[in-house]
Amino acid sequence: DGGITQSPKYLFRKEGQNVTLSCEQNLNHDAMYWYRQDPGQGLRLIYYSQIVNDFQKGDIAEGYSVSREKKESFPLTVTSAQKNPTAFYLCASSIDLAGEAEAFFGQGTRLTVV
Amino acid sequence: EDQVTQSPEALRLQEGESSSLNCSYTVSGLRGLFWYRQDPGKGPEFLFTLYSAGEEKEKERLKATLTKKESFLHITAPKPEDSATYLCAVHAGKSTFGDGTTLTVKP
């Protein structure tokens, strides 16, 4: 079955720690995205990548970093510089580099600061 | 700056009571308007893409329409399993999402 796999489903972070969220896709999509969702709100774009070894900042990139070393993988690191990291994080991919095709989403990672 | 506003924030219907969800947008150079369904604790699931004013698409009890300023998601004779949050997104270079409408359908 093709799809997007995010892990872990739940993640707890202590103050001052960096944590990395995994996102893997086997859809052969070039475009991949990371979104943040807070309760009662829509999705806000953190980073996106249209090709291996290249990525761009979205609307709320501060305190986050990404890498795209393989087409299938787009991990997100939440750094200690992110002051309010508790949220639901969603990874997505799309076949269309222009963004005119739909996005396929993973099941999300819920990050909580303890 | 691209903007998407969804209304109402929450909608409670009785089973079989038809209604519509609204998505108003302000964007330069719309490339597509997307509707997604999101269940609690899950990732959004794609429903429809609309590309130009006047376009309509249907799937089971759902019908999406598009004008130059807004899109409607019409739900005909909803069932409890239609309960979810419905997200609208516009794409003009990058995607901008609305905050969603949470639909609850009571049996």
Q: What gap in Å lies between CA B43 and CA B47, rounded to an integer?
A: 13
* Helix (H) or strand (E) run with residue A62 in it: none
Cβ contact A98–B98 (<8 Å): no
**What is the structure's pLDDT at A109?**
97
One-letter amino acid identity for B48? F
**What is the structure's pLDDT at B57?**
97
pLDDT tens per residue, range B3-16: 999 999 999 999 99
Q: What gap in Å lies between CA B21 and CA B35, rounded to an integer?
A: 11
Higher per-residue pLDDT: B5 or B2: B5
**What is the structure's pLDDT at B2?**
86
Two tokens at A3? Answer: 């799809």
Across all residues in chain B, what is the average pLDDT?
95
Higher per-residue pLDDT: B80 or B94: B80
**What is the structure's pLDDT at B49?**
95
Chain B residues interacting with chain A (CB cutoff of 8 angstroms): 4, 6, 9, 31-32, 34, 36, 41-46, 49, 51, 87, 89, 91, 93-95, 97-100
Q: What gap in Å lies between CA A36 and CA A110, rounded to an integer?
A: 10
Two tokens at A23? Answer: 């996102």
* Residues of chain A below pLDDT 50: none
